[in-house]
Chains A and B, each alone.
Chain A
C-alpha cells in the first residue's frame, strides 16, 4: 500500500472522513474530518508516524462557515480540513499532542475568532490588545473594507 493509502486507512479507521480525499494544486492531499474526530485522528497518526510535522494551520471562511486546514508533512503533504459551522463550535486544541500548534491556534483565534477547547489562554499573537472588537478576518470581520 502506498504511504498515502496507509494514512487514509488509518484515518478511515477513525471513522474520520466523509468524502474521498482530493488532491489539490501543489500535490497535497486534502482529507475532510469532523471536528470531533480531529484529535483522535492526530493522535493515531502520531503513533504511526512519530516524525509527523505540522507545517501550518490555515483558517479561512467560505459558504460552509469557518474552515481550518492543518497542513501536515510526513514525507508528503497532507492537509486535514475541518469545518467549523459557526463561532460557537469549538475545535479541540492540539497543544498537548503537537506543541507546534500553539501559535497557529492563537493566530486562528485572533484573526478569525475560532475557539479551541482544552487550552488555557488564547492571547493575541500579532495584533495589539487594544484592537478589541471583532476578528479582523472572517465573515463578520471588523476593521475597514
Chain B
C-alpha cells in the first residue's frame, strides 16, 4: 500500500500528471491576465495544451552540427529535474518528499534546467542560439543568488532548511512576507529572472536574439522545453507560497487548499502585472540590478533576521 500510495503521489497527485495539468492551466491564466491588462482578449483555455499537441506533431529537426543525443537529452533532463523539484515543494500542506535540507535540494534541482538551457543554446552553431545561451548563463549567475539569499532569511529565522518546517512556523497567519518583506521582494525578483519573464527576458528577447537558446529547436524537444518552463513557474510559485505566504492556512476547517489556490492566483497575478508594467532590461542592466541592488538587499534582510532572531 505504501508503495502504491507513493507511486500515486509521484505520478498523479501532486506529482507528474497534476503538475503538467496545473502548469498548462497557469500558463493559460498567465497569458489571459496579461492580455486583459493590455486591452486584448487573450487565448482560450485550451491554448497551452493545443500548443503542446501541435509541437509534438511537428517535425523534430536534427539541426546540422548539433549532437542529436545531447539535444534530445537536455530537455528531458530539464523536465525531469523540475518534476523532481515539484515533489519536494508542498502542494497545499503536503509535500511528497520532505527532509531536512530539501529547500536547498529543491533550489539545486531547479537550477539544473537553466544550465541545461544554456547548454542547449551552446551546442547549436547559430549566432542566436549561442548569444541567447550566453545571456541565459549570465542571468543564471545573476539571479540564482538573490533567489537563494531571499529564501535563506526565513530559513535562518526558522532555523531549519526544511520547507514544511518553514510552512509550519507561519501557522496562524504569521506569514513571513509580513516580517521579512525585503526577502520576499528579493527572492521574487530572483524568481522572475530565473523564469526569464519580462522585464528579465533578455535571453530570449525576440527582437534581439530570436528565441534565444531555443531558436533552432522545434517539435518534441521544443515542447519539452516549454513544459519545463511552465512547470518551473508553478514550482517557483509553490515555493514562494510555502516559504513566504504561509502555504495552505487553515482559515476555516478544510479550506486550506482553497486559500492555497487563492495565493497561487494572487502571486501569478503579481507576476503578470510586473510583466505588463515594465520594459525589458538590457542584459547588462540585468547584471547591474542584481549585484548592486538585489544581493545587498538580500544580505541586509538576512543579517537583520539573524540579528533579530539571535
State yes or no: do A and B touch (Cβ within 8 Å).
no
Where the two chains meet, the residues of A that have a C-beta atom closer than 8 Å to any C-beta of B are none
Where the two chains meet, the residues of B that have a C-beta atom closer than 8 Å to any C-beta of A are none
